[in-house]
Amino acid sequence: MKECIFAGFGGQGVLTAGLVLAYTAMEHELNTSWLPSYGASMRGGKANSTVKFGDTPDEVIGVPMMAEADALIAMNRPSLDYMAFCKPGALVLVNSDALDSEYDFPADKDVHLIPAGEIAYSVDNAKGASIVMIGSLMKLTGWFGKEEAKQSMCNMFAEKGKSKLDSINIAAFDAGWDAV
């Protein structure tokens, strides 16, 4: 089973980014769960989503709460607290635009600093920082192929009636993929 935490402020796209991963897993016939933080977080506070999916189609997802994550996507500084829920050696992708000073990362984490906001801006998708992170995540983990993941992402947005965003989302994904 794989586990990934997406965390940031409400509005930074961390719920949507989690959905992209869960949707991709579903389209690969894997069991998956997506669990959002709830309550005040929905209104501009600290938000997160936890995604789990099986390694094989037969694997059942246990408890959907964050426990021992393989990867953390931290869109802001407070989100780094969730490293406490990461396995040793876990991948930590940090939105470096949100780190205003040095941060003392633990040695047992595979940390990548990615200027996600800046990259998103450069591909004319100012709101797409979390999609940039998805591109980087997919490349670094190798969980799903590049084209398949992008297709699932577009399918997910199509279901929400947001297909018109496909081109800028693909641009953000590709930029994230190339950034690592």
Residues near another protein, by CB under 8 A:
19, 22-23, 26, 31-36, 38-39, 60-65, 67, 156, 159
Q: Which is nearer to another protein, 27 or 118 (CB)?
A: 27
Residue 20: name the closest of 53, 55, 42 by CA. Answer: 53
Minimum CB distance to another protein, residue 128 (Å): 21
Minimum CB distance to another protein, residue 158 (Å): 12
Token pair for 137: 């995540």
Spatial contact of 60 and 47, defined as CB atoms under 8 Å apart: no
Spatial contact of 8 and 95, defined as CB atoms under 8 Å apart: yes
Q: Which is nearer to another protein, 21 or 119 (CB)?
A: 21
Minimum CB distance to another protein, residue 24 (Å): 10
Minimum CB distance to another protein, residue 159 (Å): 8
Q: What angle do CA 45, 128, 76 make, to 5 degrees?
A: 35
Q: Which is nearer to another protein, 19 or 120 (CB)?
A: 19
Q: Which is nearer to another protein, 26 or 165 (CB)?
A: 26
Q: Rounded distance, CA 87 to CA 67, Å?
A: 9
Q: Which is nearer to another protein, 53 or 177 (CB)?
A: 53
Minimum CB distance to another protein, residue 175 (Å): 25
Single-letter residue type at 76: N
Q: Which is nearer to another protein, 18 or 115 (CB)?
A: 18
| CA–CA distances in Å: residue 45 to residues 6, 41, 71 | 14, 4, 22
Q: Helix 166-178 and helix 129-141: axis angle, to 10°?
A: 50
Minimum CB distance to another protein, residue 116 (Å): 24
Q: How many CB atoms lie within 10 A of CB 168?
A: 17
